[in-house]
DNA sequence: AAATGATATATCAAAAACGGATATAAAGGA
DNA sequence: TCCTTTATATCCGTTTTTGATATATCATTT
């Protein structure tokens, strides 16, 4: 079911959701976390959220904690999820560095 | 034509293409630049490239340099494009910082 | 001169990702 | 009781991405 090359590079919403799940959180808490953490700049709606949760579960990057209450399903990143997040942070760091480097080079010239 | 909220947050390929166009480059050179700069990790194919070029042109973030040779249309980021790129670098920096911060906090606890 | 590989631009059609709207339901406060 | 917040979930349209394909030129090799 929809496996494959996806999740090689994480998109912004996937990245945020994985970050949120370094600590165990349930769906609604993830939405709030991202909204707060970004000062409302980045919002994840329910459609995006639950779509991505399913995908992350399928990829084994997060897992649902077996809980009694079905009204508050709690998820958390697996070891593989943490590793993936670390890699993604590095990948994004390189992108930012490239951007800064190129912009700085332009600044020096002009 | 397909304007709107898009390009608020830049996706990875859009980000790379804008970075490439801080210096004037033609399409094919953009593809090569990204491939080289990422050690082949991130590849942009012609479909993605020319689709995004059109969108960036429409948004006024890049412009085509009026040249005689139609076989090497050169593009470059406009002032607005540079500003946008600077903003995006900052936005992405904050995302990376959040990721590092959260991972580090986890590391301390465990 | 013909062939080949690299350069270069472009589009189609399909897949993948995203997100607004909507539905449902329970809990808590006015 | 009514309203707001919490909470999960999906429908379905839009946007984004991309593999495949087409075309053409240039440089190098055979």
What is the pLDDT at residue A67?
72
What is the pLDDT at residue A2?
36
Closest by CA position to B91, among listed A63, A41, A50, A58: A41
Q: What domain range is A89 assigned to?
A: 12-109
Residues in chain A with CB shorter than 8 Å from the CB of B91 are 41
Phi and psi dihedrals of A65, rounded to 5?
A: -80, 130
Q: For residue A14, what are its two tokens?
A: 């996937």
Asked whether residue B13, judged by its CB, lies under 7 Å from any atom of the DNA or RNA strand D, the reply is: yes
Q: Which residue is associated with the tokens 């900052």?
A: B90
Q: Tell whether A86 is covered by a domain.
A: yes
Q: Tell whether A3 is covered by a domain.
A: no
Q: In this predicted structure, which of A18-27, B11-20, B60-69, B92-101 has the lowest mean pLDDT?
A: B60-69
Q: Tell whether B32 is covered by a domain.
A: yes
What is the pLDDT at residue B105?
94
Residue B3's pLDDT band, with cuts at 50, 70 and 90, is very low
Cα–Cα distance for residue pair A70/A29, rounded to 1 Å: 15
Q: What's the mean pLDDT in B44-53?
A: 93
As for how many domains chain B has, the answer is 1
Asked whether residue A14, judged by its CB, lies under 7 Å from any atom of the DNA or RNA strand C, the reply is: yes
Q: For residue B92, what are its two tokens?
A: 């992405």
Please say whether the dihedral angle defined by the alpha carbons of residues B34, B39, B41 and B43, taken in this order, is positive or negative.
positive
């Amino acid at each position: 079911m929809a496996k494959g090359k996806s999740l090689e590079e994480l998109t912004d919403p996937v990245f945020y959701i994985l970050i949120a799940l370094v600590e165990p959180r349930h769906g609604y808490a993830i939405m709030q976390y991202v909204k707060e953490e970004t000062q409302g700049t980045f919002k994840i709606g329910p459609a995006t959220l639950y779509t991505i949760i399913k995908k992350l579960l399928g990829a084994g990057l997060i897992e649902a904690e077996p809980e009694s209450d079905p009204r508050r399903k709690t998820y958390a990143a697996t070891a593989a999820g943490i590793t993936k997040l670390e890699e993604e942070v590095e990948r994004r760091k390189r992108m930012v560095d490239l951007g800064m480097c190129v912009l700085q080079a332009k600044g020096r010239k002009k």
